[in-house]
Structure 1
Amino acid sequence: MTIVQGVLLYAALLWKLYQLARAPRDRPLRMVTLCLGCAAVAYPIGLAGGNMTQPDAGPMPLMVAHWVLLLVMVYALICFFLFSVLEPAAAQRRARWQLLPLAAVLSALALAAVSTPSGSPPADYPVGTVAMFYLAVDLYLVYGLGSAFGWTRRYARGAEPRLARGLVLTSTGLALMVLGASLLVLVVAAFWAGGTVPGPVSPAVSFTVLPGILLFIVGVSYPGAATRLAALRVWWQHLRTYHQLNPLWTLFNGAFPEDSLSRMPVRRWRDLLSLRGVHRRYYRRAIECRDGLVRISPYLPAGAGASTETLAPRLRAALRAYRDGEAVPRRANPVALPAADGLDADVGELVTLAEALRAN
């Protein structure tokens, strides 16, 4: 789970950095990126310290660096919700107040670091110093993650469905982390008092904190990832439809080359393999196909638009009549009209006609 946590963490950070590059003035996005960035930097430090688990101590410099980053991560998470829910002035004011408990905990960590004998191995650190260090950390985690959980539930009530699902995952992860941090307070307090804790407590910490971290990472990444996935589905649909329209478009492009919206000819192999500008090419092809049908419709018998399948052979005959210069009325006929309104319905009718042409 530690490896999965690292993979998800760095993937989420890269995604947020990409979003931040596109919207650098978005304060909530800055905060969630800072949150993930601190966690990403703390991750290898924790591994370098032997993946320190409470109440065992690691090298004090690594402990301080690791937990300072994680505490700043929690502060950034609180600020993310403040800037997401409140007005900018009120959010800034609340963010400043939130610095007070963070500063108190950081002072406690500095005091613990100073009181640790220099050059001593972690096993020789005073029990009181290690316990004070971890208690300060855990109490702030309970406070900060609990505050973030409350803001998450409040924010989720008014969010749109996709964001709300991500916030539900995030809040579930936060709830598990709060529970794990609360159990750690008991573990460290018992360690300080020289007592022992029940056997199931330590496994319970692992089975709450680690899944909580994973759910939190997935939750903060879900809305953006779901949006990109939906965009990818639309992109794929447009690419597929673009190529499905090819038989119809080829017919009209040969008859009416002057109606082409692109003045740059494209090689066939490049057109087949190109993945760029898909939406633009899709709309162009749909418009050119519809324009071609309007231009050729006077050559089609009245009522030819009633059946798209029977229109395919008549369409080729109409194009031959056009090339032969036969005189026809100027009035256009309705051809391949969709049963419903909207671009999707219109393109669907054009695709049906293109498939009929291919089969014919």
Structure 2
Amino acid sequence: MALTLLSLSLSNTVARPGGASGLDIVAGHDIAKLVQNLLLLLACYFLMCFYLYSAERPTARRRARAEGVVVALVSVTITLAAVTVSPGALSKPFRTVDMTIPQVAFFYLCAGLYITYAIGVAGWWSAGYARKSSRPHATGLWMTAIGLGTMAVACAVRAVFVAVRFCGGSVPHKLTTLAALLLVVSGLLFMVGITYSGVLARITATRLWLRRRRDHRRLAPLWQLLIEVYPENQLRPASRTPWDQWRARGVHRRYHRRIVECRDGLVHISPYLVGKDDEADLLHLEPVQLARRLRRASAAIQKGAPVPARAVPLAVPQGDERDSDVDQLIAVSEALRLTA
């Protein structure tokens, strides 16, 4: 897919006036048009390979070789047509180029039919995968399939225009413009479709990254109180590089490490919170009440109070989910911040 996008980008660059004139000056007339179409053929081939290796794994390598032979033959064919035509015959836009010249008509027809075939097959495979997938992947695949299908239809229509003009007929300007507009719209839809799932995943990952950075800071009061009492509970960081705090992996690692350190500290400090008859009441303490007891227990430990008999659970989450556990810890930490 990366090679597909790279080939498309290079093809668009060559198609621009600056790129086309530069190539024509260096290599002669019509070379820019040839290079542009060769890059388009490569983009279609790489797109097919993407689906081949994902849809037909047992025969992917053999099928990819066969498709490579086809695209090589098409490339050689349009190259021969481009180098045998009179200079400047291909350099004009599609709407005004003289299709009655056999090499010109053959150039556009051969390239257009292969692109129609490759894009149509890729669109068919995209639709098949979309039916089997769930959201958000199905949404992106359906957009890709519709974009590729529409693009294949537009290419087929342009091939018909080539045949009509080769036979001496004329095509209304509005139809040519409509076909070109259809290509642009379908191309944009294809680009959105293939990037949809990835962009959505990046957005979700960014939201998770931001939320965990925020929760890491919100746990700071509880973590600091417990680490001051039990410094041995502080886990060794996996990395001390300055940019680790901004990397996604570093943020998630520090977030989980802080949760573990807080839970370990609560286990160690819990015996100091237990009175004679209130062990069961500790499970039902409000965050503010628990925060006050934690401060008193921390002060008692620092004064050398003897270690009580055993630990008891504190700030027990309402559910089994990790988020519920973190919410309980954050509630106690926020209470500590307010009662400081």
Aligned partners of 1:120 and 1:348: how far apart in 2? 71
Aligned partners of 1:113 and 1:278: how far apart in 2? 56
Q: Check the 8 A contact 1:49/1:63 in 2, yes or no.
A: no
Q: CA deviation at 1:134?
A: 0.8
Matched, 1:114 2:80: no
Moved runs in structure 1, 4+ residues, more than 6 A?
A: 49-52
Aligned partners of 2:5 and 2:317: how far apart in 1? 49
Aligned partners of 1:78 and 1:185: how far apart in 2? 21
Matched, 1:201 2:175: yes
Partner of 2:222: 248
Matched, 1:295 2:283: no
Deviations 1:82-111 (Å, cap 9, x if unpaired)? 1101124x1122222223442342233123
Matched, 1:34 2:12: no
Matched, 1:236 2:210: yes
Q: Check the 8 A contact 2:219/2:330 in 1, yes or no.
A: yes
Q: Which moved more, 1:136-145 or 1:91-100?
A: 91-100
Aligned partners of 2:171 and 2:306: how far apart in 1? 97
SS of the residue 1:242 aligns to: helix
Q: CA deviation at 1:261?
A: 0.9
Aligned partners of 2:149 and 2:272: how far apart in 1? 70
Q: Which moved more, 1:116-125 or 1:344-353?
A: 116-125
Aligned partners of 1:186 and 1:49: how far apart in 2? 30
Q: Which amino acid aligns with 2:283?
A: G
> Are the structure 2 counterparts of residues 339 and 330 from structure 1 closer, same or farther at C-alpha, using a change threshold of 3 Å?
same
Q: CA deviation at 1:173?
A: 1.0
Which of 183, 187, 193 is the equivalent residue of 1:219? 193
SS of the residue 2:318 aligns to: coil
Aligned partners of 1:87 and 1:81: how far apart in 2? 9
Q: Which moved more, 1:171-180 or 1:326-335?
A: 326-335
Partner of 2:45: 75
Q: Which amino acid aligns with 1:297?
A: S
> Are the structure 2 counterparts of residues 209 and 59 from structure 1 closer, same or farther at C-alpha, using a change threshold of 3 Å?
farther
Partner of 1:135: 109
Q: Check the 8 A contact 2:30/2:88 in 1, yes or no.
A: no
Partner of 1:3: none
Partner of 2:24: none
Partner of 1:17: none
Q: Which moved more, 1:139-148 or 1:215-224?
A: 215-224
Q: 1:309-328 maps to which residues of 2 (within 5 A)?
A: 309-327=288-306
Deviations 1:175-208 (Å, cap 9, x if unpaired)? 1211211221122223222322244312321331
Aligned partners of 2:72 and 2:254: how far apart in 1? 56
Deviations 1:278-309 (Å, cap 9, x if unpaired)? 11211111111111111111121421331223
Partner of 2:282: 304
Aligned partners of 1:121 and 1:64: how far apart in 2? 8
Point out where structure 1 has 5 or more consecutive residues left out of the alignment: 1-31, 53-57
Q: Which amino acid aligns with 2:13?
A: P
Q: Which amino acid aligns with 2:269?
A: I
> Are the structure 2 counterparts of residues 296 and 119 from structure 1 closer, same or farther at C-alpha, using a change threshold of 3 Å?
closer
Q: 1:1-360 maps to which residues of 2 (within 5 A)?
A: 32-48=1-17, 59-88=29-58, 90-118=59-87, 122=91, 127-262=101-236, 274-276=245-247, 277-301=250-274, 302=279, 303-306=281-284, 307-327=286-306, 329-360=308-339
Q: Check the 8 A contact 1:305/1:311 in 2, yes or no.
A: no
Q: Check the 8 A contact 2:33/2:90 in 1, yes or no.
A: no
Query: How many residues are treated as equivalent by the alignment?
Result: 318
Q: Check the 8 A contact 2:82/2:90 in 1, yes or no.
A: no
Q: Check the 8 A contact 1:183/1:201 in 2, yes or no.
A: no
Partner of 1:6: none
Q: Check the 8 A contact 1:293/1:335 in 2, yes or no.
A: yes
Deviations 1:232-285 (Å, cap 9, x if unpaired)? 222212111100000111111111112211379x9xxx89x9424211211111
> Are the structure 2 counterparts of residues 116 and 93 from structure 1 closer, same or farther at C-alpha, using a change threshold of 3 Å?
same
SS of the residue 1:200 aligns to: helix
SS of the residue 1:87 aligns to: coil
Q: CA deviation at 1:330?
A: 1.5
Aligned partners of 1:49 and 1:242: how far apart in 2? 52
Once the two structures are aligned, what percentage of the paired residues are identical?
Answer: 37
Aligned partners of 1:174 and 1:206: how far apart in 2? 14
Aligned partners of 2:85 and 2:18: how far apart in 1? 16
Q: Which moved more, 1:152-161 or 1:274-283?
A: 152-161
Aligned partners of 1:122 and 1:39: how far apart in 2? 19
Point out where structure 2 has 5 or more consecutive residues left out of the alignment: 22-27
Give the aligned CA root-mean-square deviation in angstroms.
Answer: 2.7
Q: Which amino acid aligns with 1:116?
A: V
Q: Check the 8 A contact 2:209/2:252 in 1, yes or no.
A: yes
Q: Check the 8 A contact 2:287/2:331 in 1, yes or no.
A: yes
